Structure 1
Amino acid sequence: MLSITNYEGTLTEALVCRGKPVARKNIDGVFELTLDTSEHDNPHSFNLITEEGIIEAGGFQFRIKQMQRKSRGKVKSVKAQHIFFDNIWLRQEGTNGGHKTLYEFATFALRDTGWTFTSDFDEDGYIEAFGNDNIVKLVNQICETFECDYEITSNSNIHFSKMLGPDSDFVYQYGDNIIELSKSVNTDNLRTRISAKGKDNLVIRYTSPQAVKWGILDADDISDERFLDSENLMDKARKSLKDQPELSIELNSIELLDKQLGERIWLIYEPWDLKCRLVF
């Protein structure tokens, strides 16, 4: 069952959508909902569907961020993101950097937010001058440092993991359970060299081994005065460089997609000489 609560939080009504609502969730923390609603199906709740309103679906709460209204049929199309991303409006002032565990960094990042976290690992990492930024950016910085993912598991908890979801031997294969397959390759953001500046005139330049294949493609310089050490600044530069074409694969299958977030399955498609692991 779906419901809609107005921005002020004073009124809540049941919500009926046209067709099926679509939830999109990935291992980078993205969690969003899109749906269409009509005034005919929602005589009592249609006027509550406004920007920044809250839609509840499957026990999760999503804040409306984009909305399009169509005169024909009096329909509203909305795109909403999970309320975790309200934390982009909240800053964690002060710094608490250095060599610390994931538990220590996450505790600081989520301090006084009402959010908690769980994790299936707790190792040491190094972040210079961690803090003085919004909560979502700090969580992403933790994931970048510890090379992990996070999943929104409730309306007040996130889970950090080195590898979300199980390894599965399930196979999607051409001529068996694949109806249609599409592959997209994008080189718009392909870069092979980057310069980075830290504090006290610390400057480094990193060139990817992929420059042998693609040539020298300079990325925009980055600057972060929290970095005092060339080794850590070099690591940040390396991780920020997109030195491979961006590849995405979409498939339409006759199998039920009852897969877990992060689950890894096999995809075999002989016409493209393709055999790879996909991550849901």
Structure 2
Amino acid sequence: MLVVHSLDGQIEPLVDCELPQRRWVLNGDKSLSFNIYRSFSNEESFDLIQGQCLIEVDDDYFRVKQVGKQLRSSTQYKTVSCLHVLFDLEKNRVYSTLNNTVSIEQAMTLITANTKFTFTVEGTFDGVVFEEFGKDDSYTLLQKVLEEYGAELEVKKFHITLKKRIGVDNDFQFRYKHNITAVDEQIDTNDLTTYIEGTGKLDANGKPLISVSYESPNASVFGRLHADPISNETFTIAENLRNHIASKLQDTPKISIKFDYHTVVGEIGQEIGKGDAGWLIHEALGIEIYTRVVEILDYPGVDTPPVITIGNVLFNGAEEIVIRKGK
């Protein structure tokens, strides 16, 4: 059930909502939308729905951002669009900065200062060197943290949890057009690359002390496709630099496939959730790709099956994306 928290603190359940839709994207969109018409059952709560009020769903908060009002057959009707309260961070400005080597805890402390948000960091993250971290809105800085530290986030109400990776590696196997049928499929090779070079720290004459190259095993499938070279003076060890440049390759096609959740669970015989990982076996392409659940669209309080999206579109790295020739 949806619950409205008004700007003046009133709390009322919302009934007579039409197909509420909640969207979750890995490290991205977290939104809610619904339509509601005035009825005898929601006469009080209907009027409480205003811009910036909170909608509670499954012990989580979404903030109303857009409200459309209409009259249908003499009945008042509202279309409501919400964003997770995480996006409140867009309206908090960080004026100070951090520089040199910054820990993820230091970065998050700066981001959440003077806000309602708290955070937990699970696991160990290496420090990152910044010339200047700050002087931006907190949400943009949070996205920078996710990118620079290689972190993923979970959020509940006003608490952020950062992890190396969310979800579990349950080794599911999706056999395209065998045990699954796609609702929608997108395959994109525009950014496909299989070869990259990189340089590390420079000597006194401006020449690199280390130079490395990396060719993905997938070059045997797609050929040698060059990525732009990378220069990063923080690296002094060749192996570490090679791992870094390898992680920047998009060495598989970007694949995004949507499925009806209940159908998939019935076919593969196991539950799957946010961030879970497994194999997509695409015989038409002759490849197997290690994928994750990267998006879920569900319908809170309504008996409509969720739609899940698996793919490799939202994450990169040779250590995580693997492709094999079909047999």
* TM-score normalised by structure 1 residue count: 0.73
| Count of matched residue pairs | 248
CA distance in 2, matches of 1:4, 1:156: 17
**Counterpart residue number, 1:104:** 106
Question: Which of 281, 305, 311 is the matching residue for 1:268?
Answer: 281
**Counterpart residue number, 1:119:** 121
**Counterpart residue number, 1:59:** 59
**Counterpart residue number, 2:141:** 138
Give how far 1:230 is off. 6.8
> CA offsets per residue over residues 233-270 of structure 1, 9 Å max, x none?
xx9xx999999875422122414495332111333343
Instruction: Name the stretch that deviates more: 27-36 or 87-96.
Output: 27-36
Distance 1:47 1:243, change over 3 A: farther
Which AA in structure 1 matches 2:71?
S
Distance 1:88 1:242, change over 3 A: farther
Question: Which of 47, 71, 80 is the matching residue for 2:82?
Answer: 80
Q: Does structure 2 retain, via aligned residues, the 8 Å contact 1:26–1:262?
A: no
Which structure would you say has the larger Rg? 2
**Counterpart residue number, 2:37:** 38
**Counterpart residue number, 2:23:** 24
Instruction: Name the stretch that deviates more: 127-136 or 27-36.
Output: 27-36
1:250 matches 2:258: yes
**Counterpart residue number, 2:197:** none
Distance 1:240 1:112, change over 3 A: farther
**Counterpart residue number, 2:196:** none
Task: Give unpaired runs (5+ residues) of structure 2.
Answer: 194-214, 216-221, 235-240, 294-327
1:277 matches 2:290: yes
Distance 1:115 1:16, change over 3 A: same
CA distance in 2, matches of 1:170, 1:265: 4
CA distance in 2, matches of 1:95, 1:251: 44
Question: Which of 169, 172, 194 is the matching residue for 1:170?
Answer: 172
SS state at 1:103 partner: helix
Give how far 1:94 is off. 1.0
Distance 1:80 1:240, change over 3 A: farther
Which AA in structure 1 matches 2:81?
K
CA distance in 1, matches of 2:69, 2:289: 41
Q: Does structure 1 retain, via aligned residues, the 8 Å contact 2:152–2:163?
A: yes
CA distance in 1, matches of 2:53, 2:288: 44
Q: Does structure 1 retain, via aligned residues, the 8 Å contact 2:2–2:55?
A: yes
SS state at 2:106 partner: helix
CA distance in 2, matches of 1:249, 1:106: 33
CA distance in 2, matches of 1:230, 1:178: 43
CA distance in 1, matches of 2:36, 2:247: 42
SS state at 2:182 partner: strand
Q: CA RMSD in A?
A: 3.7
Distance 1:67 1:96, change over 3 A: same
SS state at 1:145 partner: helix
Q: Does structure 2 retain, via aligned residues, the 8 Å contact 1:148–1:163?
A: yes
Distance 1:68 1:271, change over 3 A: farther
Task: Give unpaired runs (5+ residues) of structure 1.
Answer: 193-208, 217-228
SS state at 1:97 partner: strand
Which AA in structure 2 matches 1:45?
S
Give how far 1:15 is off. 0.5
> CA offsets per residue over residues 102-134 of structure 1, 9 Å max, x none?
112212221222321112223222122111111
CA distance in 2, matches of 1:71, 1:249: 38
Give how far 1:46 is off. 1.6
Give how far 1:78 is off. 1.9
Q: Does structure 1 retain, via aligned residues, the 8 Å contact 2:173–2:279?
A: yes
Give how far 1:175 is off. 5.4
**Counterpart residue number, 2:68:** 68
Give how far 1:56 is off. 0.6
| Runs of 4+ displaced beyond 6 Å | 238-245
* TM-score normalised by structure 2 residue count: 0.63
